[in-house]
Structure 1
Amino acid sequence: MHFSVVSSLLLSTILSSVHVIAAPAQQEKRDAWNKALGWPEPEYNYYKAVGDTVEKAARANQLVNQPACNMQLAQMPQAPTPLPPPSAGLVLSHIAVGRGTQNYTCPKDADASVAPTAVGAVASLFNVSCIAGNYPQLLSLLPSVAVRYPVPTANSQLAPANVMLSGHHYFQDATTPFFNMITSDSNYGMVAAAKLNATNAPDAAKDVTWLKLNAKAGNWSFVEVYRVNTSGGQPPKTCEGQPENIEVQYAAEYWLWAPPK
């Protein structure tokens, strides 16, 4: 079974954040559980090494008693021209790294005067809520790492990243991004949204815009969704020489805000 580096990175960091400083007995239990999944030795050794590095960083920063999923410490990234803040009264409910494609179309045999048209996106969403407060610097690196590696296929259920799968992102129509945060292992909710604000990414030529989305009418789990820290996703400048359907690899952080429970 083949696992991408980003899969190993996601799982190892999250496992490490569950027990910031693992006692020897906890470490042995965690290693036994990991090996019981049957992951190949090279991949196991890789994510274990990353996890050990995170734990050493935790020691250096005196985070011994920090809760595993303390999202109260999480700080949403800001673009050079910031997006409006979350609406008053909302609380941070979930944070995910999305990995997929931004999708575009071009007319057949178009020339350089025609630009690709955006037709939505498709992405798998991976739960990084526990990392956001405890290891913000690590979280900030994940999209740029994730975009360089393929997402595990659906039949790789034991792939490390799939263990942390929290949902999927796609478009219901040309203007309705949808977040289905329900899987066989978890239920974070759903939301159909619409673009409210947009701002350029720091590297606007390569990375798609940062967005603030607002929930459409309905009884949804989330009220506002931010797409930030994007990596990749920008289309070719023109349709000249391009196929009719274009998929551009991207990754991003998604911050989902909801009313307090």
Structure 2
Amino acid sequence: MFANSMPVRITFSLLLLLNSLARTLAVPAPTNTYDKVERGDYKDNSRTWVGSDYDHGSCSVYSELPLCSSYGICLSPPRKHSKLVAVVLGVGTQNYTCTSPTQVPTGNGAMATLYDITKSVGLTPDAAHAFSAIVMALSTAQNTQNIPLGLGYPKIGEHHFEPRSGKGAVAVFNLWVKGKQLKFVGGKLEGIPPPPDSFPGSVDWLKLGRTAGIEKESRGIKFVYRVHTAGGKAPATCEGLRHQHTVNYATEYCE
């Protein structure tokens, strides 16, 4: 997120790999069960901020081409003089609607809990970018009920969609950063396919911008990038699905 600063089951071998990654990443020991999406009541548990050590042309701190997929196409970078507000791990569901078995599922928004990973991205970007895939793999593994989907990182906000008159459904992000409540209300500006080696069924990478006509609803955030996605993509058809269908996903949001 950016603000203007201008004056299923997995194999035993995969489990071993994840355990190794967890030790390498020094993920904090979990203290509770899976987190559920809840709106409001977010305390300022954010860690030491990376501050001004960011690249104006990048989404994530100290990273090379974080806005580009392996296809060689990129999301446009933030405007000059933009300042990175936070890098968060989003964990939740992409929601879809079905009306007939032969229909392609229709997108119906998303809901996610947001966890602060800003410091980890600044210190170990390659490892932190793997958090989304690790969360999705853990969520389908057996005997992982004591591992929180936020990997033990502090919860600092939530993401959902809300209807607006004449605007349709808009994406809403609520964050607590350094004791301040920040908000983003907007929609898709750009999208690119995820890299071919992404977690199976991953949704596109996106750049979101404030929605025209309701810009004043946003506070402190002008753009949101959804990158390093894992999961969330709808099935090809609605056959065998309920009217309301959800697909688990995890992603890195840069704001």
The residue that corresponds to 2:50 in the other structure is 69
Kindly tell me the number of residue pairs found equivalent between the two proteins: 194
2:227, 2:238 → 1: CA distance?
A: 27
The residue that corresponds to 2:75 in the other structure is 83
With structure 1 as the length reference, what TM-score do the two structures score? 0.64
Residues 1:191 and 2:184 are matched in the alignment: yes
Q: Residue 94 of structure 1 contacts residue 129 of structure 1 at CA under 8 Å; is this kept in 2?
A: yes
Shift of 1:137: 1.2
Shift of 1:187: 3.4
Q: Residue 77 of structure 1 contacts residue 228 of structure 1 at CA under 8 Å; is this kept in 2?
A: yes
Letter in 2 for 1:134: L
Residues 1:105 and 2:90 are matched in the alignment: no
1:181, 1:146 → 2: CA distance?
A: 21
1:179, 1:83 → 2: CA distance?
A: 20
Letter in 2 for 1:198: G
The residue that corresponds to 1:253 in the other structure is 252
Shift of 1:181: 0.6
Q: Which structure 2 residues correspond to residues 21-40 of structure 1 after superposition, within 5 A?
A: 39=31
Q: 3-state SS of the aligned residue for 2:129?
A: helix
The residue that corresponds to 1:222 in the other structure is 221
**What CA RMSD, in Å, does the superposition of the two structures yield over aligned residues?**
3.4
Residue by residue, what CA displacement relative to the aligned partner does 1:46-65 show, whole Å, maximum 9, x if unpaired?
Answer: xxxxxxxxxxxxxxxxxxxx
Regions of 4+ moved over 6 Å: none
**Greater share of residues in helix:** 1
Q: Are the structure 2 counterparts of residues 201 and 220 from structure 1 closer, same or farther at C-alpha, using a change threshold of 3 Å? A: same
Residues 1:207 and 2:202 are matched in the alignment: yes
Shift of 1:254: 0.2
1:160, 1:247 → 2: CA distance?
A: 19
Q: 3-state SS of the aligned residue for 1:147?
A: helix
Residue by residue, what CA displacement relative to the aligned partner does 1:93-139 show, whole Å, maximum 9, x if unpaired?
Answer: 100010000000100xx133x10000000001110000112101111
Q: 3-state SS of the aligned residue for 2:109?
A: strand
Q: Which structure 2 residues correspond to residues 127-138 of structure 1 after superposition, within 5 A?
A: 127-138=116-127
1:228, 1:159 → 2: CA distance?
A: 18
Q: 3-state SS of the aligned residue for 2:74?
A: coil
Letter in 2 for 1:166: I
1:123, 1:68 → 2: CA distance?
A: 22
Q: Residue 166 of structure 1 contacts residue 186 of structure 1 at CA under 8 Å; is this kept in 2?
A: no
With structure 2 as the length reference, what TM-score do the two structures score? 0.66
Q: Residue 98 of structure 2 contacts residue 242 of structure 2 at CA under 8 Å; is this kept in 1?
A: yes
Q: 3-state SS of the aligned residue for 1:91?
A: strand
Q: Residue 205 of structure 2 contacts residue 226 of structure 2 at CA under 8 Å; is this kept in 1?
A: yes
Residue by residue, what CA displacement relative to the aligned partner does 1:1-59 show, whole Å, maximum 9, x if unpaired?
Answer: xxxx99x959x7476xxxxxxxxxxxxxxxxxx8xx9x59xxxxxxxxxxxxxxxxxxx
Residue by residue, what CA displacement relative to the aligned partner does 1:193-247 show, whole Å, maximum 9, x if unpaired?
Answer: 1111111111487110110000231152100000001000011100122111111
1:231, 1:160 → 2: CA distance?
A: 14
